Amino acid sequence: MIFPPTRLFAAKRALWRICGVYLGHGVSLNQGCRVVGSGPVSIGQGTWVGIDATFIVPDGGGVSVGSNCDIGPGVLFNCGSHAIGGRSRRAGAGLSKPISVGDGVWIGARAVILGGVDIGSGCVVAAGAVVLPDSYPEHVLLAGVPARVVKVISIVDEEVGN
């Protein structure tokens, strides 16, 4: 079945829910979004998931995205990794760590969020950033490879639109 890139969100939500993904009210899933693996995925109400966003969630991991988030096109959530192995094969035993994204977060296009990341509410992750395992405070701008806090975002009245 082929869906238009940015329409028929209710039908897309229904299919994802059948596959075991928790989706809050009004989540918008765009064309090419996918989940790989059997770990839990939860996306809060009113969140926009851009074209080709991918959730790689092996057992032991999980992705929790808060409400009213905006996830840009091509964003990768990757819970899976490997321990460093021996000389003959550096990718050792597989491992998986959860990812948590707070409410109101904006993740720019093609950002990579790795297992073990906890992003506080109200953050902005710049396009192309690679967010390494750590806990990041609320209301900051994360940018770069590897991502780091480059700015504290002032909390303003939403009515003003700043």
Q: Which residues are catalytic?
A: 82
Q: Is 85 exposed, middle or buried (0-12, 13-18, 19+ CB in 10 A)?
A: exposed
Q: How many Å apart are CA 160 and CA 162, to the nearest integer?
A: 6
Q: Is 112 exposed, middle or buried (0-12, 13-18, 19+ CB in 10 A)?
A: buried
Q: Is 117 exposed, middle or buried (0-12, 13-18, 19+ CB in 10 A)?
A: buried
Buried b (16+ CB within 10 A) or exposed e, 126-147: bebbbbbeeebebbbbbbeeeb
Find the helix or strand (DSSP H, E) in which 131 lies.
strand 130-131
